[in-house]
Amino acid sequence: MGHIQLKGVEKCFGDVMVIPPLDLEIEDGEFVVFVGPSGCGKSTLLRLIAGLEDVTEGTVEIDGHDATELPPAKRGLAMVFQSYALYPHMSVRRNIAFPMKMARIPQEEQERRISEAARVLNLTDYLDRRPGQLSGGQRQRVAIGRAIVREPAAFLFDEPLSNLDAALRVGMRLEISELHKRLATTMIYVTHDQVEAMTMADKIVVLQAGVIEQVGSPLELYRAPQNLFVAGFIGSPKMNFVDGTEAAKHNAHTIGIRPEHIDVSAESGEWTGIVGVSEHLGSDTYFRVSVDGFAEPLTVRAGGEVDLHYGDTIHLTPNLDQLHRFDAAATRLA
């Protein structure tokens, strides 16, 4: 079981309020991602759940029991750190065994769980090595192994992939998702990378300055961002925003349109612009287009093989169904 509920949780460091009171419910078995820019309080929130930081106000409930005053060891949660935080003086086997040793689990049971975890995580051949002799990806797998064997109520991941190189990150992302499907245990995952959030989460919690901006499934956030911050943060490349008269035409203070929701034509369209720099990704090409009367150039997606060059004049038509409208307070208009 891993049902976690935060009620009026608030955190201050000295006089600075990092997290104003917030409520959040995490269902058993859910994969929840806390996402936001650096310093938005997502790691602090995770550490409050873990018990590594004390809440200033409010309660943390785990499976219906008030865990606010419980030390981390008693909460039944396992954590995977950004730096892996392996014990450098212990072999991989002893690293993985450590939480079971602390829990006084019988030796045979420890052995069974270690070999099971090692098999799942492809670590069988490395059990007698020290963490220093492993690659980054292997170290991260040991850290995950150490978390699995405890059979925790929930897994907490604190930016676990940010120390890995790009290729490895994609692989580990899949492995963690796979693990979640297999174990069906609650996972809370902190990242600043919205791609990780979109690809892995059942539910995304977008945070800014300690405040929850929106909670929802990846597609909900993509389709109906509640405010400008979420709209700009979710989706890659970023959503284009247009203010002024163009927005006023749609009865909004600001309109947002994603690069993939703009049709490109050589002959005619609603807006006319000049092609700037382009990024060819093979499958797609992203153009920066300076449109007459717009303060910022737009990012536009076109096919991978499209024949457009720097300085060309093109015509753009936004897909009106996919147009997002926001008022002066940056909130979504229905």
Partner 1 sequence: MARNVTTSRKSINTIAAGALGFLMFFPVLWIVILSFKTEGNAIKAPLEILLNTGWTTESYGAVQARSNYFKHFSNSLIISLGSTFLGMLIAIPAAWSMAFVPAKRTKNVLMWMLSTKMLPPVGVLIPIYLIFRDLGILDTRTGLVIVLMLINLPIIVWMLYTYFREIPGEILEAARMDGASLREEVIHVLVPMAIPGMASTVLLNVILAWNEAFWTLNLTAAKAAPLTAFIASYSSPEGLFYAKLSAASVMAIAPILIMGWFSQKQLVRGLTFGAVK
In the bound state with partner 1, the residue whose beta carbon lies nearer, of 74 and 223, is 74
| From 56-64, 86-94, 165-173, 212-220, span contacting partner 1 (CB under 8 A) | 86-94
Q: Closest by alpha carbon to 280, among 316, 305, 262, 258?
A: 305
CB of 31 to partner 1, least distance (A): 19
103 binds partner 1 (CB under 8 A): yes
In the bound state with partner 1, the residue whose beta carbon lies nearer, of 90 and 308, is 90
Helix (H, G, I), strand (E, B) or coil at 315: strand
163 binds partner 1 (CB under 8 A): no
154 binds partner 1 (CB under 8 A): no
| From 70-78, 229-237, 285-293, 309-317, span contacting partner 1 (CB under 8 A) | 70-78
Q: Closest by alpha carbon to 160, among 130, 139, 133?
A: 139
Number of residues that bind partner 1 (CB under 8 A): 22
Sign of the torsion angle spanned by Cα atoms 45, 48, 52, 57: positive
Kind and range of the H or E run holding 243: strand 240-243
294 binds partner 1 (CB under 8 A): no
Phi-psi region of 29 (alpha: psi -120 to 50; beta: other; left: phi over 0): left
Selected from 64, 88, 132, 282, the binder of partner 1 by CB under 8 A is 88
- Decide if 176 contacts 144 (C-beta within 8 A): yes
Beta bridge partners of 301: 286
**Contact code string over 127-146 relative to partner 1, x by CB under 8 A:** -------------------x
Q: Looking only at residues 2 through 61 of this chain, which bind partner 1 when binding is defined by CB under 8 A?
A: 50, 52
In the bound state with partner 1, the residue whose beta carbon lies nearer, of 88 and 311, is 88
Three-state SS string across 34-88, please?
Answer: EECCCCCCHHHHHHHHHCCCCCCEEEEEECCEECCCCCHHHCCEEEECCCCCCCC
Angle in degrees, CA 82, 83, 89, rounded to 5:
145
In the bound state with partner 1, the residue whose beta carbon lies nearer, of 86 and 134, is 86
Selected from 3, 61, 81, 202, the binder of partner 1 by CB under 8 A is 81
| From 26-34, 60-68, 71-79, 297-305, span contacting partner 1 (CB under 8 A) | 71-79
70 binds partner 1 (CB under 8 A): no
- Decide if 272 contacts 292 (C-beta within 8 A): yes
86 binds partner 1 (CB under 8 A): yes
Q: Which residues bind partner 1 (CB under 8 A)?
A: 50, 52, 71-73, 77-79, 81-83, 85-89, 98-99, 102-103, 146, 150
